[in-house]
Chain A
Amino acid sequence: MDLSLSTRTEGDRTVVVVGGEIDVYTAPKLREQLIDLVSSGQYHLVVDMEGVEFLDSTGLGVLVGGLKRVRAHEGSLRLVCTQERILKIFRITGLTKVFPIHGSVEEAVSATE
Chain B
Amino acid sequence: MALVELSLPPLAAHVRTARLVVVAAARRAGLDDALVDELRLALGEACSRAVGLHAKHAPAAPVLVTVADDASGLTITVTDQGPAAEPTSGDLARDMLDSAGDDAIDDVVDPDVALAVLSGLVDDCTIEHTGAGTTVTMRWPLPPRPVGVGGPGATQVSQV
Number of interface residues of A (CB under 8 A): 29
Kindly provide the distance from the CB of B27 to the nearest chain A CB, expressed in whole angstroms.
16
Q: Is the CB of A93 within 8 A of B113?
A: yes
B2 CB-CB contact with A under 8 Å: no
Q: Is the CB of B97 within 8 A of A58?
A: no
A67 to B96, CA, bound (A): 11
Q: Mark B51-64, 1 if CB is under 8 A from A, else 0.
A: 11000000000000
A103 CB-CB contact with B under 8 Å: no
Q: Is the CB of A54 within 8 A of B40?
A: yes
A95 to B94, CA, bound (A): 9
Known: A56-B41, A69-B101. A24 touches B12 (CB 8 A): yes
Specify the chain A residue showing the minimal Cβ separation from B102: A68
A46 to B44, CA, bound (A): 26
Considering only residues 52-91 of chain A, those with a C-beta below 8 Å from chain B are: 54, 56-58, 60-62, 64-69, 85, 88-89
A93 to B114, CA, bound (A): 10
A41 CB-CB contact with B under 8 Å: no
Q: Is the CB of A61 within 8 A of B100?
A: yes
Q: How many A-B residue pairs have CB under 8 A?
A: 95
Interface range, B side: 20 to 34
Kindly provide the distance from the CB of A1 to the nearest chain B CB, expressed in whole angstroms.
10
Q: Is the CB of B108 within 8 A of A58?
A: yes
List 6 interface pairs A-B (beta carbons < 8 Å), by A numbering.
Answer: A31-B107, A57-B45, A61-B109, A65-B101, A67-B97, A95-B92
- Contacts A58-B108, A66-B101, A98-B93 known; 18 new A-B pairs at CB < 8 A: A23-B48, A24-B51, A56-B44, A56-B48, A56-B114, A57-B48, A57-B117, A60-B109, A61-B100, A61-B107, A61-B108, A64-B101, A64-B107, A68-B97, A92-B117, A93-B120, A94-B94, A95-B96
- Residues of B at the A interface (CB closer than 8 Å) are 12-13, 15-16, 19, 37, 40-41, 44-45, 48, 51-52, 91-94, 96-97, 99-102, 104, 107-109, 113-114, 116-117, 120-121
- Residues of A at the B interface (CB closer than 8 Å) are 21, 23-25, 27, 31, 35, 54, 56-58, 60-62, 64-69, 85, 88-89, 92-95, 97-98
